[in-house]
Copies of this chain bind each other. A is one copy, B any other.
Amino acid sequence: MDIREALYTTRAMRRVKPDPVPEEVQARILDAAVRAPSGGNAQGWRFMLVDDKEQIAKVAALYSECIDMLWATVYKDQVDHANSSDDAVARKFRKMMNSVTWAQENFDKYPLLLFAFDQFDTTGGSIFPAVWSAMLQARADGVGSSLTSVLMFKNDETLDVLGVPKEEGWRMSACVPFGYPEGKWGVAPRRPAHEVSYRNTWGTPVGFEIDEPLWP
């Protein structure tokens, strides 16, 4: 697969089938992940694949609680707006909520989870390139994924389920459920790059406009 197709079509794919992800695909996912850069090339990371049904069920229960907490805290205003309005913002948010609610109700059927852990990465810059490489490599094999940090709401409980030695400073950076998509791949709509980009100083236009995605 062309790099550009992967970069443009690896969107959050929460609705996936319960079919297992073959071991050779899992190996390619992890091997791609460790090729990513990390600060000082320290590679201060650990990865965990979870495909045991009982383990996934335990994580699913925690994920469900965390999503309820997410709506009630970080996204409270947006949820209230989405439930009481029908403008573009409300519709976009309801669409995202529906997708997340699907994940909440079906989390125990995900065939494979990837957890990423870091030890001393204060910015995330030494772990999320690896996580994103894992997701892009999965895409190349037709496997969908979505990245969530929501389990942070139940951080200690999640680390306990996975047996993570917190006393050594290992922290959970992300959980990525994988699976073969129910739906189709496509380019996700985004605010155009020139609307969120500047040149040389804040507020100065970047100098070009990109009205349509530059791929395909």
Contacts and interface: CB of A to CB of B under 8 A. Distances in A.
27 contacts: A4-B137, A7-B32, A8-B32, A10-B35, A11-B37, A12-B37, A27-B214, A30-B197, A30-B206, A31-B214, A31-B215, A34-B191, A36-B132, A39-B149, A41-B188, A45-B196, A46-B196, A48-B199, A49-B206, A121-B124, A123-B149, A123-B174, A124-B124, A124-B173, A125-B147, A136-B136, A163-B201
Interface of A: 1-8, 10-12, 23, 26-28, 30-37, 39-41, 43, 45-52, 55, 75, 78, 92, 96, 121, 123-125, 127-129, 131-133, 135-137, 139-140, 146-147, 149, 152, 162-165, 173-174, 187-188, 190-194, 196-203, 206-208, 210, 213-215
A34 to B, nearest CB: 5
B37 A147 contact: yes
A28 to B, nearest CB: 6
A101 to B, nearest CB: 13
Contact of A162 (B2, B55, B202, B214): B202
Number of copies: 2
Contacts of A27: 193, 208, 210, 214
* The 4 A-B residue pairs with the shortest CB-CB distance in the complex, in nearest-first order: A124-B124, A128-B128, A30-B193, A129-B132
A34 B133 CA distance: 16
A33 B52 CA distance: 34
Q: Which of A5, A48, A208 has the most CB of B within 10 A?
A: A48
A47 B143 CA distance: 29
Contacts of A164: 202
B129 A147 contact: yes
Nearest to A11: B37
Contact of A43 (B45, B190, B207): B190
